[in-house]
Amino acid sequence: MKPGYYGNWGGAFVPEILHETFRQLNAVFAEAQADPSFWQQYVDLMASYSCRPTPLTLAENLTRRFGGAQIYIKREDLNHTGAHKANNVMGQGLLVRRMGKTRVIAETGAGQHGVATATMAAKFGLACTIYMGEEDVQRQRPNVFWMEKLGATVVPVTSGSRTLKDAINEAFRDWVANMDSTHYVMGTVCGPHPFPAMVAWFQKIIGEETRRQILAAHGRLPARVYACVGGGSNAMGIFQGFMADEEVELVGVEAGGKGLTTGQHAARLTAEEAGNHPAGTPGVAQGYKTMFLQDSDGQMKDTHSVAAGLDYIGVSPMLADLWEGGRVRMAAATDAEVMEALQLTMASEGIIPALESAHAFVQAFREAGELPPEAAIVINQSGRGDKDIFTIAHAFKDPSWQAFIRAKGEEYAKEPAS
């Protein structure tokens, strides 16, 4: 197989101007992989700066409620900056140091990857520019505020659908102009090789911890592992811990948006019914080959999800391969199901999953009851939901929240910048 390919998927469809940059990146990444002290440095950094290992929490109340498998939650929400994104970003930060670059750029959708990158840049003393679709800038203003306070420049991207995919394009445009000084911190297991391999490598820390933890807590491997799939980094992160354990079923959950038949979703691999084709078709964009949501000409479609972090046209080439080969089963959760699972999880366990993560909860809740109590399942809680307050309070149509925002708005209208 060609390097950078996973079955039929992957590759590095990169403009010539970046050829050397990628050569260097591949070399530094290979060096890091070959150097055990690098991994140790990474683990130490994540232990002292974030809070790895993150816990594995037994959800007793949810387990009781569904009356089936023991439900365990892997707590990536407890990472510094609130999501698994920190793992990848801090890892790439160490590579940036090795390369001696002085600036990083990144795309962001939900804002989590942007906040994580801005955080890493502050810690590592790097200049930082974050590209973010204008629509997402509107949706995720708190994250923009923090990125700026962390010292990053946030550039609203006004092209295309003004969301994540356009931010990626814009980041590439910056990169082709500034690659000598600048590293592009790709936020998920997508993009041209070696990004999927690199991001997956850093994220495998989730799965390695989880495997140890579930064996210690439950005494045996879990029956199933659930993770939401935007680009696929948290999913690949946890799945890698169980890849060789054939008895562990790996389940990825995509954004079903308003429903798979509505066209307003971001489910690339999940077929509406067993036996049907999924909505995604093979394509090449943003530097790699995978299953994209595109029209018959190859133009990318608009996607929709209540979770900005899942609202993306492509999916990891690694997951496309694992899905094609049957190792990973794909499912989808709709916006409405997600809000329900979120509410249930908050009230039952005192845990607030990110909207993205709540997709994995939906599917786990559907299936937990089918399994016997001796079985365990693990849900990867990729992030915490309190960052999503504007979206969640909006989605719940909370009247006190709306009144609060109106009053604040009126206050600012009266004395702007007071």
Ligand X SMILES: Cc1ncc(COP(=O)(O)O)c(C=O)c1O
Residue ranges in contact with a copy of itself by CB under 8 A: 47-51, 54-58, 61, 75, 78, 80, 82, 118-123, 125, 138, 141-142, 144-146, 148-151, 217, 343, 346-352, 386-387, 389-390, 392-393, 396-410, 412-413, 416-418
Cα–Cα dist 204/239, whole Å:
8
Cα–Cα dist 188/319, whole Å:
12
CB of residue 119 to ligand X, shortest distance in Å: 14
Cα–Cα dist 342/336, whole Å:
10
Q: 130, 117 in Cβ contact below 8 A?
A: yes
Q: 390, 139 in Cβ contact below 8 A?
A: yes
CB of residue 373 to a copy of itself, shortest distance in Å: 19
CB of residue 104 to a copy of itself, shortest distance in Å: 12
- CA proximity to 280, closest of 332, 241, 235, 238: 332
Q: 113, 105 in Cβ contact below 8 A?
A: no
Radius of gyration of the chain (CA): 20
State yes or no: residue 2 binds another protein (CB under 8 A).
yes
Sign of CA pseudo-dihedral 321, 324, 327, 333: positive
Interface residues with ligand X (CB under 6 A)? 83, 85, 109-110, 112-113, 188, 228-235, 309-310, 354, 356-357, 382-383
State yes or no: residue 177 binds another protein (CB under 8 A).
yes
Among a copy of itself, another protein, ligand X, none, residue 412 binds (CB under 5-8 Å by kind): a copy of itself
Q: 114, 94 in Cβ contact below 8 A?
A: no
Q: Is 339 exposed, middle or buried (0-12, 13-18, 19+ CB in 10 A)?
A: middle
Among another protein, ligand X, a copy of itself, none, residue 98 binds (CB under 5-8 Å by kind): none
Cβ neighbours of 267 (radius 10 Å): 28
CB of residue 241 to a copy of itself, shortest distance in Å: 18
Among a copy of itself, ligand X, another protein, none, residue 325 binds (CB under 5-8 Å by kind): none
| Three-point CA angle 401, 403, 404, nearest 5° | 65
Among a copy of itself, another protein, ligand X, none, residue 417 binds (CB under 5-8 Å by kind): a copy of itself
DSSP state letter for 240: G
CB of residue 228 to ligand X, shortest distance in Å: 5
Residue bearing tokens 């509107």:
138
Tokens of 99: 């390369």
- CA proximity to 108, closest of 80, 78, 79, 128: 128
Among the listed residues 74, 101, 107, 356, the single catalytic one is 107
State yes or no: residue 12 binds another protein (CB under 8 A).
yes
| DSSP collapsed to 3 states, 141-162 | HHHHHHHHHCCCEEEEECCCCC
Among the listed residues 85, 101, 204, 289, the single catalytic one is 85
Active site residue 382: yes
State yes or no: residue 30 binds another protein (CB under 8 A).
no
Q: 279, 158 in Cβ contact below 8 A?
A: no
- Residues 289-308 touching another protein, rule: CB under 8 A, are 289, 292, 294, 296-300
Nearer to ligand X, 54 or 70 (CB): 54
Among a copy of itself, another protein, ligand X, none, residue 397 binds (CB under 5-8 Å by kind): a copy of itself
List of residues 6+ apart from 24 with CB closer than 8 A: 99
- Residues 230-289 touching another protein, rule: CB under 8 A, are 281-287, 289
Nearer to a copy of itself, 78 or 186 (CB): 78
Among the listed residues 165, 289, 382, 387, the single catalytic one is 382
Among a copy of itself, another protein, ligand X, none, residue 188 binds (CB under 5-8 Å by kind): ligand X
Active site residue 37: no
Binding segment for another protein (CB under 8 A), chosen from 176-184, 241-249, 267-275, 304-312, is 176-184
State yes or no: residue 186 binds another protein (CB under 8 A).
no
Among a copy of itself, another protein, ligand X, none, residue 287 binds (CB under 5-8 Å by kind): another protein
Q: 267, 311 in Cβ contact below 8 A?
A: no
Active site residue 2: no
- Name beta bridge partners: 182: 103
Q: Give the torsion through C-alpha atoms of 208, 24, 28, 237, to 10 deg.
A: -10
Residue bearing tokens 């804002």:
111
Nearer to ligand X, 334 or 382 (CB): 382
State yes or no: residue 176 binds another protein (CB under 8 A).
yes
Catalog residues that contact another protein under the rule CB under 8 A: 2, 11-21, 159-160, 165, 169, 172-173, 176-180, 281-287, 289, 292, 294, 296-300
As annotated, the active-site residues are: 85, 107, 382
